[in-house]
C-alpha cells in the first residue's frame, strides 16, 4: 500500500512547491535503438552502417545484401552491402563490416527461393524485390518479406554463428535454400571455394577465400562454415560455373554453390557456424553456441547481450528522438572491432598462422585513423576489460606481423590511411589505468616505427620527418596530414615514456610533437604543403585553402587540417598570436556558408569548412574552450547535435567509420568529449538532464545538467564532486573512481569557464 501511495504523495508535494512532475520514458534502451540510422544518405552523407543481426563485437553479422532496381549498384553506396533506399535483395551473407568507406566482407550468401534450375545459379535470377514496410530490425535481429516468392526471412546471431529462419507461404512447393560460396559485394571477389554436402548430418560445409577492398590488400581472408538445417537434406544440386552437378557431394571452384531442397510445411532453419581458422573451428563454434537451441532462444540471448551493453550508459531527459539517436549511436559504437578468436581460443593472425589465446579475446577490424579520436576513449570508460583485450590484440599483431597496424581488417594489414594511431590508443588507455598488458613490447614497437621505416605498416615519409622536422610535399603525398598525425602520435608516445620512466625519450618525443608548426604559414595563417628545400608548394597568391584536392592533405583541405593539434591546443593559440585571433578564425570556420557547388547537389561535394562527416576536424568545436569562449563550444556542439544527426536512415553525417561518428554523438550529447591520447575531457553542452556512465570498476560518472533542453544550452555554473569547477574541462584522474559533474544550464551565454 505504501508503495502504491508514494507516487501520489510525491506528485502532491511537487504541486505544493510549484513544481511539475515530468513523466520518465520507461522504454528499454534496446527498444529505442534504430539499427537503420546511418544506413541511408547520399554519397558524402552516407553512414554506411550495417543493419543486420549481430551480438556486441560479434564475428557473425548476417544481413541483407541489396541493390537498387532503378539505378546501377553504386559502389559508394554499398560499402556494407546495404543501402536503405534499395528495393532488391540478392540474399543474406554472414559477415559484414559497418560504416567503412571501402567495400568489404559480405561473404557466404544464403537465399530461400521457390524452384531451382540452371538459371538460378546466377544472382540476377533469384534476387527478390522487397518493401520497406515489410523490413524490421532491432539489436540482434533482422527480418524481411521477399516479394517475389512471399517468403519471410529472419536473422539472428550468436558471437560466432549466424542463425536464419525462412517461413514459406502456405501451400508452397518446390522450396530451396541457395548457398552461394562465390557471392561477393561489388568490387570484391572470391578466388577459391570448396563445398561438401553431408546429407546424413543435414550439413553443408566448406570454405572460401575472399578479397575485399581492405582485406584483399594482403591476401584476403579465408572463411570456413558449417551450416546445419532443421530439416532432412534429401535432395540437393551443386553447381560450378553455371553447370548443375546433381547429387555431387563435393566440389571446388570459383563459381560454386548448392541448392538444397527443403520441406516448406514448417519454417526452415539454418544454423551456420563460422570460423577464420578451419572447418573444425566452425563446427566447434556452432556446437558450443547453438546446440540444443532454437531461433527464438538465440534471438532472446542476442537481445539480452545488447541490453547489458546499452545499460552501461543511462540517460534521463531529452526528447524521444534524442534518446533514439543516443542509444542507436551507443549500439553502433559496439559493433566493432570484431571478436575474431574461436570458442577454443584459436585465431588466424596477421602472419596467416594459427595461434591460441588463453587469457584474452582476440579482435580485428580496427579503423584506427578514425576510432583513435573517440571510440577507444569510450571503451576506456565503460568496457576497460574489453579495451584491454583489444590492446593485447594490437600487440600480438605487432609481434606476429612485424609492426603495429594502423587499419587491420580480418587477417590483413591494409596500410590504410596515415599516421600510427595505435600509438595514441595504447598510450591513452595506459594513462587511464589499463596497464595489465605487455606495455614494454608495445612501447618497443611504437619506438621502432617512430624511428624509421618498418615493414607492413608505419609512418610513410618518416625518414624526411626525422631529418627535416616535417614531411615534404614534393617527396610524399599527404605530407601535411602525415606530419600532424606523427605529432599527435609522438605526444602520446612521450606521455607513455614518462610513465615508463624513460625520461629522455619522453622529452624527445614531446619536442617532436611540436613539429606540426613547421607547416604553419603566418602570412596565410594555414598549415601548408612545404617542399624539401623549405619553400611552399605554391605562392601565397596561388594558395587556395578550400582546395579539397590538394595532394598534401588526406581527405580534407587547409581549413579542416588547420586545427589538427589536439595534443597542443595552446601551441595553436601561440601561432595565431592571441586567443582572440584563434577564436575569430574558429568562428569563421564554423559560420562561413559552404561555397556554391555550381549546380551539383551539395551531398556530392565534400564540405570545405567544418565537416562533421569526417575525422580530422571533429574535435574543433571544443577548441573554443581553449580561447576563453566555452559558450561558443556549447553553441556549436548543440548545433551539430541538432542539425547533423537525425533519427532516420540518413541520420549520420558521413561514414560511421566503425562507430566514430556515433561515439562523437554519445560523448557530446552527454556533455563532455575526450582529447585523443590525453587524460583531459572538454565540457560541452549536454542534451540530457542526467547521464550515468558505469565505469567498469563498480563506480559511476554522473553528469547532472539542471534545466537542459533545447533552449537551455549554455552552462551557468559547474561543480565536480561537490566543488566549484571554473574551467571547461576535467581529467580522468578526477572521475576514475566515480564522480558527479553538476551543470546548471540556461538560455543565454554566461561567464562560466572563461
Contact 88, 130 (CB under 8 A): yes
Average pLDDT over every residue of 413-426: 96
Q: Is 138 helix (H, G, I), strand (E, B) or coil?
A: strand
Average pLDDT over every residue of 572-580: 98
516-557: pLDDT as tens digits: 999 999 999 999 999 999 999 999 999 999 999 899 999 999
Is residue 682 scored above 60 in pLDDT?
yes
Is residue 19 scored above 90 in pLDDT?
no
237-269: pLDDT as tens digits: 999 999 999 889 999 999 999 999 999 999 999
- Tell me the DSSP string of 278-340: -HHHHHHHHHHHHTT--HHHHHHHHHHHHHHHHTTEEEESS-HHHHHHHHHHHHHHTS-SEE-
pLDDT confidence bin for 21, thresholds 50/70/90? very low
481-500: pLDDT as tens digits: 999 999 999 999 999 999 99
pLDDT confidence bin for 744, thresholds 50/70/90? very high
Average pLDDT over every residue of 666-695: 98
**CA–CA separation, 615 vs 655, rounded Å?**
10
pLDDT at 22: 57
HSE of 45, CA atoms in CB hemisphere, 13 A: 18
User: 643 to each of 186, 630, 638, how far by Cα in Å?
Assistant: 32, 20, 8
- Of residues 225, 146, 149, 155, the one with CA closest to residue 183: 225
Cell of 288: 558450443
Cis peptide before 63 (omega within 30 of 0): no
Is residue 11 scored above 70 in pLDDT?
no
Is residue 607 scored above 50 in pLDDT?
yes
Q: Is 354 helix (H, G, I), strand (E, B) or coil?
A: strand
Is residue 455 scored above 90 in pLDDT?
no
**CA–CA separation, 69 vs 640, rounded Å?**
34
Mean pLDDT of the chain, nearest integer = 95
Residues whose CB falls within 8 Å of the CB of residue 540, separated by 6 or more in sequence, listed in order: 521, 523, 524
**CA–CA separation, 236 vs 523, rounded Å?**
73
pLDDT at 538: 96
pLDDT at 23: 64
Q: At what angle do helices 660-670 and 320-333 cross, to 10 degrees?
A: 130
Average pLDDT over every residue of 23-44: 93
698-718: pLDDT as tens digits: 999 999 999 999 999 999 999
> For the chain, what percent of residues have pLDDT higher than 70?
97
The pTM score is 0.96
631-676: pLDDT as tens digits: 999 999 999 999 999 999 999 999 999 999 999 999 999 999 999 9
321-368: pLDDT as tens digits: 999 999 999 999 999 999 999 999 999 999 999 999 989 999 999 999
Map out the domains of the chain with their CATH numbers. Answer: 32-308 (2.70.98.10), 312-341+619-754 (3.30.2080.10)
**CA–CA separation, 378 vs 434, rounded Å?**
13
Residue 71 has a CB neighbour count (10 Å cut-off) of: 10
pLDDT at 18: 37
Amino acid at each position: 500500500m505504501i508503495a502504491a501511495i508514494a507516487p501520489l504523495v510525491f506528485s502532491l508535494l511537487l504541486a505544493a512547491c510549484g513544481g511539475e512532475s515530468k513523466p520518465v520514458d520507461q522504454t528499454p534502451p534496446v527498444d529505442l535503438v534504430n539499427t537503420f540510422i546511418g544506413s541511408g544518405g547520399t554519397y558524402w552523407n552516407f553512414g554506411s552502417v550495417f543493419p543486420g543481426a549481430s551480438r556486441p563485437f560479434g564475428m557473425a553479422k548476417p544481413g541483407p545484401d541489396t541493390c537498387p532496381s532503378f539505378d546501377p549498384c553504386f559502389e559508394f553506396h554499398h560499402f556494407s552491402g546495404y543501402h536503405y533506399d534499395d528495393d532488391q535483395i540478392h540474399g543474406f551473407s554472414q559477415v559484414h563490416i559497418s560504416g567503412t568507406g571501402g567495400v568489404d566482407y559480405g561473404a557466404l550468401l544464403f537465399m530461400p527461393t521457390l524452384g531451382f534450375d540452371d538459371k538460378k545459379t546466377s544472382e540476377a535470377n533469384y534476387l527478390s524485390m522487397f518493401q520497406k514496410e515489410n523490413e524490421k530490425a532491432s539489436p540482434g535481429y533482422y527480418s524481411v518479406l521477399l516479394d517475389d516468392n512471399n517468403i519471410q526471412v529472419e536473422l539472428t546471431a550468436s558471437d560466432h554463428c549466424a542463425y536464419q529462419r525462412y517461413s514459406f507461404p502456405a501451400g508452397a512447393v518446390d522450396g530451396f535454400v541457395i548457398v552461394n560460396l562465390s557471392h561477393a559485394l561489388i568490387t570484391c571477389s572470391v578466388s577459391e571455394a570448396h563445398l561438401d554436402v553431408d546429407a546424413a548430418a543435414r550439413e553443408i560445409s566448406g570454405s572460401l577465400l575472399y578479397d575485399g577492398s581492405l582485406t584483399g590488400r594482403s591476401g584476403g581472408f579465408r572463411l570456413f562454415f558449417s551450416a546445419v538445417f532443421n530439416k532432412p537434406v534429401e535432395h540437393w544440386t551443386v553447381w560450378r560455373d553455371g553447370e548443375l552437378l546433381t547429387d555431387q557431394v563435393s566440389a571446388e571452384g570459383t563459381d560454386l554453390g548448392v541448392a538444397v531442397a527443403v520441406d516448406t510445411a514448417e519454417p526452415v532453419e539454418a544454423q551456420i557456424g563460422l570460423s577464420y581458422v578451419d572447418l573444425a573451428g566452425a563446427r566447434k563454434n556452432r556446437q558450443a553456441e547453438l546446440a540444443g537451441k532454437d531461433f527464438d532462444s538465440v534471438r532472446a540471448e542476442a537481445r539480452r547481450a545488447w541490453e547489458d551493453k546499452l545499460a552501461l550508459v543511462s540517460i534521463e531527459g531529452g526528447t524521444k528522438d534524442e534518446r533514439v539517436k543516443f542509444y542507436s549511436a551507443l549500439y553502433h559504437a559496439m559493433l566493432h572491432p570484431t571478436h575474431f578468436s574461436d570458442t577454443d581460443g584459436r585465431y588466424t593472425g596477421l602472419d596467416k598462422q594459427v595461434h591460441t589465446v588463453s587469457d584474452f579475446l582476440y579482435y580485428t577490424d580496427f579503423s584506427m585513423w578514425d576510432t583513435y579520436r573517440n571510440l577507444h576513449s569510450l571503451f576506456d570508460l565503460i568496457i576497460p576489460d574489453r579495451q584491454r583485450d583489444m590492446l593485447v590484440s594490437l600487440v600480438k599483431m605487432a609481434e606476429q606481423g612485424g609492426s603495429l597496424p594502423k587499419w587491420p581488417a580480418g587477417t590483413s594489414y591494409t596500410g590504410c590511411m596515415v599516421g600510427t594511431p595505435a600509438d595514441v590508443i595504447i598510450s591513452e588507455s595506459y594513462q587511464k589505468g589499463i596497464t595489465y598488458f605487455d606495455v614494454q613490447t608495445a612501447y618497443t614497437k611504437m619506438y621502432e616505427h617512430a624511428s624509421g621505416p618498418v615493414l607492413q605498416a608505419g609512418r610513410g615519409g618518416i625518414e624526411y620527418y626525422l631529418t627535416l622536422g616535417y614531411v615534404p610535399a614534393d617527396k610524399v603525398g599527404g605530407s601535411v596530414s602525415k606530419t600532424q598525425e606523427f605529432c599527435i602520435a609522438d605526444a602520446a608516445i612521450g606521455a607513455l615514456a614518462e610513465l615508463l620512466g624513460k625520461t629522455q625519450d619522453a622529452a624527445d618525443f614531446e619536442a617532436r610533437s611540436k613539429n606540426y608548426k613547421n607547416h604553419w604559414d603566418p602570412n596565410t595563417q594555414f598549415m601548408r604543403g612545404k617542399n624539401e628545400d623549405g619553400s611552399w608548394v605554391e605562392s601565397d597568391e596561388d594558395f587556395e585553402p578550400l582546395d579539397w584536392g590538394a595532394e598534401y592533405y588526406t581527405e580534407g583541405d587547409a581549413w579542416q587540417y588547420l586545427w589538427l593539434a589536439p595534443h597542443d591546443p595552446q601551441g595553436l593559440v601561440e601561432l595565431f598570436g592571441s586567443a582572440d585571433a584563434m577564436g575569430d578564425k574558429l568562428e569563421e570556420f564554423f559560420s562561413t556558408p559552404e561555397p556554391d557547388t555550381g549546380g551539383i547537389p551539395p551531398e556530392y561535394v565534400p564540405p570545405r569548412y567544418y565537416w562533421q562527416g569526417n575525422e580530422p576536424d571533429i574535435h574543433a568545436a571544443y577548441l573554443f574552450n581553449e580561447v576563453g569562449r566555452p559558450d561558443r563550444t556549447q553553441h556549436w556542439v548543440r548545433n551539430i547535435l541538432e542539425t547533423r544527426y537525425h533519427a532516420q536512415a540518413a541520420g549520420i553525417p558521413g561514414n560511421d567509420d566503425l562507430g566514430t561518428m556515433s561515439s562523437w554523438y554519445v560523448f557530446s550529447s552527454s556533455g563532455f568529449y575526450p582529447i585523443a591520447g590525453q587524460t583531459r575531457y572538454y565540457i560541452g553542452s549536454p542534451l540530457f538532464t542526467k547521464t550515468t556512465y558505469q565505469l567498469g570498476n563498480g563506480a559511476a560518472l554522473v553528469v547532472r545538467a539542471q534545466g537542459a533542453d533545447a533552449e537551455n544550452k549554455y552552462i551557468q555554473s559547474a561543480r565536480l564532486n561537490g566543488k566549484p569547477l571554473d574551467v571547461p574541462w576535467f581529467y580522468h584522474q578526477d572521475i576514475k573512481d566515480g564522480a558527479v559533474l553538476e551543470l546548471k544550464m540556461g538560455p543565454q551565454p554566461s561567464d562560466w569557464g572563461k
